[in-house]
A = this chain, B = another copy of it.
Amino acid sequence: MIKGDTSSMAELCFVSLRDAIVEGKVKQGSKLSETKIAEQYQVSRAVVRDAIAKLEVCRLVERKPNIGAKVISLNEASLNELYQVRSALEALAARLAANNMTKQQRQQLISLLDSQKSVVRSNNYYQEAGDVDFHYHIITGSNNQSLVDLLLGSIYYLVRMYRVQLGMTGPRVSNAYFEHQQIAMAIERQDGELAEMLMRRHIQYSMQTIIDKFAANSISQLQL
Protein backbone atom coordinates (compact mmCIF):
# COMPACT_ATOMS: atom_id res chain seq x y z
CA MET A 1 0.00 0.00 0.00
CA ILE A 2 1.52 3.25 -1.19
CA LYS A 3 1.01 6.24 1.08
CA GLY A 4 0.83 9.77 -0.26
CA ASP A 5 -1.87 9.12 -2.83
CA THR A 6 -4.97 11.31 -3.05
CA SER A 7 -7.01 8.40 -1.71
CA SER A 8 -7.46 7.95 2.00
CA MET A 9 -5.66 5.12 3.79
CA ALA A 10 -9.05 3.63 4.43
CA GLU A 11 -9.79 3.51 0.72
CA LEU A 12 -6.43 1.93 -0.06
CA CYS A 13 -6.95 -0.60 2.71
CA PHE A 14 -10.40 -1.41 1.34
CA VAL A 15 -9.06 -2.03 -2.17
CA SER A 16 -6.15 -4.05 -0.88
CA LEU A 17 -8.32 -6.20 1.37
CA ARG A 18 -10.92 -6.67 -1.33
CA ASP A 19 -8.25 -7.87 -3.75
CA ALA A 20 -6.71 -10.15 -1.14
CA ILE A 21 -10.11 -11.72 -0.54
CA VAL A 22 -11.07 -12.02 -4.19
CA GLU A 23 -7.72 -13.44 -5.29
CA GLY A 24 -7.79 -16.02 -2.51
CA LYS A 25 -4.93 -14.70 -0.41
CA VAL A 26 -7.40 -14.48 2.45
CA LYS A 27 -9.33 -17.71 2.47
CA GLN A 28 -13.10 -18.00 2.18
CA GLY A 29 -14.78 -18.39 5.53
CA SER A 30 -11.77 -17.12 7.43
CA LYS A 31 -11.91 -14.66 10.32
CA LEU A 32 -10.66 -11.13 9.72
CA SER A 33 -8.74 -9.76 12.69
CA GLU A 34 -8.72 -5.98 12.71
CA THR A 35 -5.73 -6.02 15.03
CA LYS A 36 -3.66 -8.26 12.79
CA ILE A 37 -4.61 -6.50 9.57
CA ALA A 38 -3.77 -3.14 11.17
CA GLU A 39 -0.35 -4.52 12.15
CA GLN A 40 0.24 -6.00 8.72
CA TYR A 41 -0.67 -2.82 6.86
CA GLN A 42 0.84 -0.56 9.54
CA VAL A 43 -2.25 1.56 10.01
CA SER A 44 -4.63 2.08 12.89
CA ARG A 45 -7.63 -0.11 13.49
CA ALA A 46 -9.92 2.75 12.49
CA VAL A 47 -8.68 2.44 8.92
CA VAL A 48 -9.29 -1.29 8.93
CA ARG A 49 -12.76 -0.91 10.40
CA ASP A 50 -13.73 1.57 7.70
CA ALA A 51 -12.58 -0.89 5.05
CA ILE A 52 -14.40 -3.82 6.65
CA ALA A 53 -17.61 -1.82 6.95
CA LYS A 54 -17.53 -1.27 3.21
CA LEU A 55 -16.62 -4.88 2.45
CA GLU A 56 -19.68 -5.88 4.43
CA VAL A 57 -21.95 -3.91 2.17
CA CYS A 58 -20.11 -5.34 -0.86
CA ARG A 59 -21.13 -8.72 0.56
CA LEU A 60 -17.58 -10.04 0.57
CA VAL A 61 -17.55 -10.30 4.34
CA GLU A 62 -20.11 -11.01 7.00
CA ARG A 63 -19.91 -9.05 10.22
CA LYS A 64 -21.45 -9.71 13.60
CA PRO A 65 -21.46 -7.30 16.55
CA ASN A 66 -18.82 -8.19 19.16
CA ILE A 67 -17.74 -11.21 17.13
CA GLY A 68 -16.07 -9.57 14.16
CA ALA A 69 -15.97 -10.10 10.44
CA LYS A 70 -15.28 -13.16 8.36
CA VAL A 71 -14.91 -13.71 4.64
CA ILE A 72 -18.04 -15.22 3.08
CA SER A 73 -18.12 -18.93 2.39
CA LEU A 74 -18.64 -20.03 -1.19
CA ASN A 75 -21.26 -22.63 -1.95
CA GLU A 76 -23.16 -23.97 -4.90
CA ALA A 77 -26.50 -22.47 -3.93
CA SER A 78 -25.16 -18.96 -3.70
CA LEU A 79 -23.15 -19.47 -6.88
CA ASN A 80 -26.38 -20.38 -8.64
CA GLU A 81 -28.15 -17.34 -7.25
CA LEU A 82 -25.28 -15.08 -8.16
CA TYR A 83 -25.30 -16.27 -11.75
CA GLN A 84 -29.02 -15.75 -12.07
CA VAL A 85 -28.53 -12.14 -11.09
CA ARG A 86 -25.42 -11.79 -13.23
CA SER A 87 -27.28 -13.07 -16.24
CA ALA A 88 -30.10 -10.56 -15.84
CA LEU A 89 -27.75 -7.65 -15.37
CA GLU A 90 -25.21 -8.49 -18.06
CA ALA A 91 -27.96 -9.18 -20.55
CA LEU A 92 -29.25 -5.69 -19.79
CA ALA A 93 -25.72 -4.34 -20.16
CA ALA A 94 -25.40 -5.94 -23.60
CA ARG A 95 -28.71 -4.49 -24.75
CA LEU A 96 -27.80 -1.04 -23.48
CA ALA A 97 -24.32 -1.30 -24.98
CA ALA A 98 -25.87 -1.97 -28.38
CA ASN A 99 -27.86 1.24 -28.01
CA ASN A 100 -25.54 3.45 -26.01
CA MET A 101 -21.94 2.63 -26.79
CA THR A 102 -19.94 5.53 -28.16
CA LYS A 103 -18.05 5.04 -31.37
CA GLN A 104 -14.82 5.12 -29.41
CA GLN A 105 -15.98 2.44 -26.98
CA ARG A 106 -17.08 0.30 -29.92
CA GLN A 107 -13.68 0.62 -31.52
CA GLN A 108 -12.00 -0.33 -28.28
CA LEU A 109 -14.15 -3.45 -28.06
CA ILE A 110 -13.31 -4.49 -31.61
CA SER A 111 -9.62 -3.78 -31.03
CA LEU A 112 -9.68 -5.88 -27.91
CA LEU A 113 -11.14 -8.83 -29.76
CA ASP A 114 -8.64 -8.41 -32.60
CA SER A 115 -5.74 -8.29 -30.20
CA GLN A 116 -6.97 -11.52 -28.64
CA LYS A 117 -7.30 -13.41 -31.90
CA SER A 118 -3.79 -14.83 -31.81
CA VAL A 119 -4.28 -15.89 -28.22
CA VAL A 120 -7.29 -17.97 -29.24
CA ARG A 121 -5.25 -19.85 -31.80
CA SER A 122 -2.92 -21.10 -29.11
CA ASN A 123 -5.97 -22.05 -27.05
CA ASN A 124 -5.05 -19.66 -24.30
CA TYR A 125 -8.10 -17.38 -24.39
CA TYR A 126 -9.04 -16.19 -20.95
CA GLN A 127 -10.21 -13.07 -19.19
CA GLU A 128 -7.98 -11.16 -16.85
CA ALA A 129 -9.57 -8.60 -14.61
CA GLY A 130 -10.08 -5.03 -15.70
CA ASP A 131 -9.22 -3.30 -18.93
CA VAL A 132 -8.62 -6.39 -21.03
CA ASP A 133 -11.81 -8.12 -19.93
CA PHE A 134 -14.52 -8.33 -22.56
CA HIS A 135 -17.29 -8.20 -20.00
CA TYR A 136 -15.78 -5.16 -18.37
CA HIS A 137 -16.06 -3.33 -21.68
CA ILE A 138 -19.66 -4.33 -22.21
CA ILE A 139 -20.59 -3.19 -18.75
CA THR A 140 -18.90 0.16 -19.07
CA GLY A 141 -20.24 0.49 -22.61
CA SER A 142 -23.80 0.29 -21.29
CA ASN A 143 -23.33 3.87 -20.17
CA ASN A 144 -25.74 3.29 -17.33
CA GLN A 145 -23.92 4.29 -14.16
CA SER A 146 -26.39 2.52 -11.90
CA LEU A 147 -25.70 -0.74 -13.72
CA VAL A 148 -21.95 -0.15 -13.71
CA ASP A 149 -22.02 0.49 -9.95
CA LEU A 150 -23.94 -2.71 -9.27
CA LEU A 151 -21.92 -4.94 -11.54
CA LEU A 152 -18.46 -3.51 -10.92
CA GLY A 153 -19.16 -2.73 -7.26
CA SER A 154 -20.12 -6.18 -6.16
CA ILE A 155 -21.11 -8.84 -8.70
CA TYR A 156 -17.89 -8.68 -10.64
CA TYR A 157 -15.80 -9.36 -7.51
CA LEU A 158 -18.04 -12.14 -6.28
CA VAL A 159 -17.89 -13.88 -9.64
CA ARG A 160 -14.14 -13.46 -9.75
CA MET A 161 -13.82 -14.87 -6.27
CA TYR A 162 -15.55 -18.06 -7.38
CA ARG A 163 -13.43 -18.29 -10.49
CA VAL A 164 -10.21 -17.91 -8.53
CA GLN A 165 -11.36 -20.47 -5.99
CA LEU A 166 -12.00 -22.91 -8.81
CA GLY A 167 -8.77 -22.15 -10.62
CA MET A 168 -10.73 -20.80 -13.56
CA THR A 169 -8.49 -17.87 -14.28
CA GLY A 170 -6.49 -19.94 -16.67
CA PRO A 171 -7.25 -21.11 -20.20
CA ARG A 172 -10.77 -21.84 -21.33
CA VAL A 173 -12.12 -23.47 -24.39
CA SER A 174 -12.26 -21.13 -27.33
CA ASN A 175 -16.02 -21.24 -27.60
CA ALA A 176 -15.95 -18.20 -25.39
CA TYR A 177 -14.11 -16.20 -28.01
CA PHE A 178 -16.64 -17.15 -30.64
CA GLU A 179 -19.48 -16.13 -28.36
CA HIS A 180 -17.78 -12.85 -27.58
CA GLN A 181 -17.43 -12.17 -31.28
CA GLN A 182 -21.10 -12.83 -31.89
CA ILE A 183 -22.08 -10.47 -29.10
CA ALA A 184 -19.73 -7.79 -30.36
CA MET A 185 -21.20 -8.05 -33.86
CA ALA A 186 -24.73 -7.62 -32.52
CA ILE A 187 -23.58 -4.57 -30.60
CA GLU A 188 -21.84 -3.15 -33.65
CA ARG A 189 -25.06 -3.51 -35.60
CA GLN A 190 -26.90 -1.90 -32.68
CA ASP A 191 -29.18 -4.90 -32.39
CA GLY A 192 -30.01 -4.71 -28.70
CA GLU A 193 -32.39 -7.63 -28.65
CA LEU A 194 -29.87 -10.00 -30.23
CA ALA A 195 -27.05 -8.75 -28.03
CA GLU A 196 -29.17 -9.42 -24.97
CA MET A 197 -30.14 -12.90 -26.10
CA LEU A 198 -26.58 -13.87 -26.99
CA MET A 199 -25.27 -12.58 -23.69
CA ARG A 200 -27.86 -14.58 -21.77
CA ARG A 201 -26.79 -17.69 -23.64
CA HIS A 202 -23.14 -16.92 -23.06
CA ILE A 203 -23.62 -16.46 -19.31
CA GLN A 204 -25.76 -19.58 -19.18
CA TYR A 205 -23.00 -21.69 -20.75
CA SER A 206 -20.46 -20.08 -18.47
CA MET A 207 -22.69 -20.81 -15.52
CA GLN A 208 -23.00 -24.45 -16.47
CA THR A 209 -19.23 -24.72 -16.74
CA ILE A 210 -18.57 -23.13 -13.38
CA ILE A 211 -21.28 -25.13 -11.60
CA ASP A 212 -19.87 -28.36 -13.02
CA LYS A 213 -16.45 -27.31 -11.91
CA PHE A 214 -17.69 -26.44 -8.46
CA ALA A 215 -19.39 -29.82 -8.10
CA ALA A 216 -16.29 -31.66 -9.31
CA ASN A 217 -14.19 -29.65 -6.92
CA SER A 218 -16.45 -30.53 -3.99
CA ILE A 219 -16.31 -34.21 -4.84
CA SER A 220 -12.54 -34.24 -5.14
CA GLN A 221 -12.29 -32.52 -1.75
CA LEU A 222 -14.53 -35.14 -0.18
CA GLN A 223 -12.22 -37.80 -1.51
CA LEU A 224 -9.22 -36.29 0.22
Chain A residues close to B by CB (< 8 Å)? 6-8, 10-11, 46, 49-50, 53-54, 56-59, 65-66, 78, 81-82, 84-85, 88-89, 91-92, 96, 144-147, 149-150, 153-154
Which among B7, B49, B58, B144 is the interface contact of A57 at CB below 8 angstroms? Answer: B58
Which among B66, B146, B149 is the interface contact of A84 at CB below 8 angstroms? Answer: B146
Q: Identify 10 residue pairs between A and B in the complex whose beta-carbon atoms are under 8 Å apart, listed by A's number.
A: A11-B65, A50-B50, A53-B53, A54-B54, A57-B58, A78-B146, A85-B89, A85-B146, A88-B88, A89-B89
The smallest C-beta distance from A153 to any residue of chain B, in angstroms, reads 7
State whether A85 and B147 are in contact (beta carbons under 8 Å apart), knowing that A54-B54, A65-B11 are contacts in the complex. Answer: yes
The smallest C-beta distance from A62 to any residue of chain B, in angstroms, reads 11
Please measure, in the bound complex, the distance between the C-alpha atom of A10 and the C-alpha atom of B53, giving whole angstroms: 10
Which among B7, B56, B145, B154 is the interface contact of A81 at CB below 8 angstroms? Answer: B145
The smallest C-beta distance from A74 to any residue of chain B, in angstroms, reads 12
Q: Which residue of B lies closest to A9 (CB)?
A: B65
Q: Which residue of B lies closest to A5 (CB)?
A: B65
Which among B11, B66, B81, B147 is the interface contact of A144 at CB below 8 angstroms? Answer: B81
